[in-house]
């Protein structure tokens, strides 16, 4: 069973490396992803377009590479901003306690009262379409989970001997937070961030599918799915290509997140040793 899990994780890592490589080198791998060729519209696989062309004759594989770059930027960007903000707020609330903690808890409850995707749709519609506004909208929605986890970790760690000793020695709040709380709270936050990347990728695709994310002529896996739905019966490759890419990357990120969670869980490692 462990060998099968290891093979799955290795395959997931390969998928992620291909995704990251395609995203990073997309500007050098594509020639003209937005060039219209009406004579080649809705064509199947052919030389120069191994995945066929879309309704405007644009190569699907080139637009898929551009969409990979968008998904990587959104996934990493949203998680970086949301995790930084949420971790800071949660650790400060758990360490200081009192009215600061109560205020943060009420703020978290307020955000959790709204379904995340609906709040993201509302914010994206309010801010307008575009990559920057999309990252802002998903960050506003995503910081809450990191804040809850960081606060729980801070409440657990605040009574530890090394934290009490640091307080007794006169260490300031920020030094305690940075040197004594964050390193110990980093493992669960890292696992949460891994799953957050997958959630951000799916959210970006969903918002782009609704027309609130990446706008034409720029490519996104979600917008490619939206455009391909109208031609599903005559050109199914327009939906299959971005759908498989979105499924594979999301599944790979989640598998790596599960593996990372097991590796960082002391109880799981102890059980494996026994």
For the chain, the domains span 70-264
SS3 53: strand
Question: Looking at residue 30, what is its pLDDT?
Answer: 84
Residue 204 pLDDT level (bands cut at 50, 70, 90): very high
Nearest to 131, CA basis, from 211, 73, 80, 203: 73
Strand partners, 49: 46
Of 14-18, 103-107, 159-163, least confident by mean pLDDT is 159-163
Question: Looking at residue 218, what is its pLDDT?
Answer: 86
SS3 46: strand
Total residues belonging to the chain: 274
Question: Mean per-residue pLDDT for 162-183?
Answer: 74
Question: Mean per-residue pLDDT for 56-85?
Answer: 92
Question: What are the start-end ranges of the E strands in 92-202?
Answer: none
Q: Which CATH class is domain 70-264?
A: mainly alpha
- Residue 268 clears pLDDT 80, i.e. is over it: no
Across 22-26, 153-157, 158-162, 174-178, the highest mean pLDDT is recorded for 22-26
Separation of CA 86 from chain center: 15
Separation of CA 134 from chain center: 12
- Residue 159 clears pLDDT 80, i.e. is over it: no
- pTM value is 0.88
* Measured distance CA(50)–CA(138) in Å, rounded: 34
Q: For residue 67, count other CB atoms closer than 10 A to its CB.
A: 31
Residue 3 pLDDT level (bands cut at 50, 70, 90): low
* Measured distance CA(84)–CA(87) in Å, rounded: 5
* Measured distance CA(70)–CA(57) in Å, rounded: 21
Q: What percentage of the chain carries pLDDT values higher than 70? A: 94
End-to-end alpha carbon distance in the chain: 16
Higher pLDDT, 159 or 201: 201
Nearest to 177, CA basis, from 241, 87, 239, 71: 87
Question: Looking at residue 180, what is its pLDDT?
Answer: 72
- Residue 206 clears pLDDT 60, i.e. is over it: yes
- Nearest 5°: phi and psi at 79? -65, -40
* Measured distance CA(121)–CA(143) in Å, rounded: 16
In the block, residue with structure tokens 């637009």: 63
* Measured distance CA(79)–CA(139) in Å, rounded: 7
Higher pLDDT, 179 or 86: 86
- Residue 257 clears pLDDT 70, i.e. is over it: yes
């Amino acid at each position: 069973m462990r060998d099968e899990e290891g093979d799955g994780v290795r395959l997931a890592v390969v998928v992620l490396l291909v995704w990251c490589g395609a995203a990073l080198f997309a500007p050098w791998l594509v020639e003209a992803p937005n060039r219209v060729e009406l004579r080649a519209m809705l064509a199947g696989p052919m030389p120069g377009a191994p995945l066929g062309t879309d309704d405007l004759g644009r190569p699907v594989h080139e637009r898929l590479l551009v969409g990979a770059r968008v998904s990587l930027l959104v996934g990493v960007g949203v998680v970086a901003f949301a995790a930084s903000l949420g971790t800071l707020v949660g650790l400060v609330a758990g360490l200081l306690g009192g009215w600061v903690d109560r205020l943060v808890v009420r703020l978290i409850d307020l955000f959790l009262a709204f379904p995340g995707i609906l709040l993201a749709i509302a914010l994206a519609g309010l801010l307008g379409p575009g990559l920057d506004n999309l990252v802002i909208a998903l960050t506003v929605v995503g910081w809450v989970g990191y804040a809850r986890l960081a606060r729980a970790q801070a409440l657990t760690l605040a009574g530890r001997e090394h934290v009490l000793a640091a307080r007794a020695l006169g260490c300031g709040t920020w030094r305690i937070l940075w040197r004594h709380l964050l390193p110990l709270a980093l493992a669960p936050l890292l696992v949460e961030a891994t799953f957050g990347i997958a959630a951000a990728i799916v959210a970006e695709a969903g918002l782009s599918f609704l027309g609130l994310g990446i706008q034409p002529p720029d490519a996104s896996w979600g917008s490619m799915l939206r455009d391909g739905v109208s031609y599903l019966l005559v050109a199914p490759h327009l939906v299959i290509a971005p759908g498989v890419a979105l499924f594979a990357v999301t599944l790979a990120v989640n598998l790596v997140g599960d593996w990372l969670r097991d590796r960082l869980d002391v109880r799981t490692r102890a059980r494996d040793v026994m």
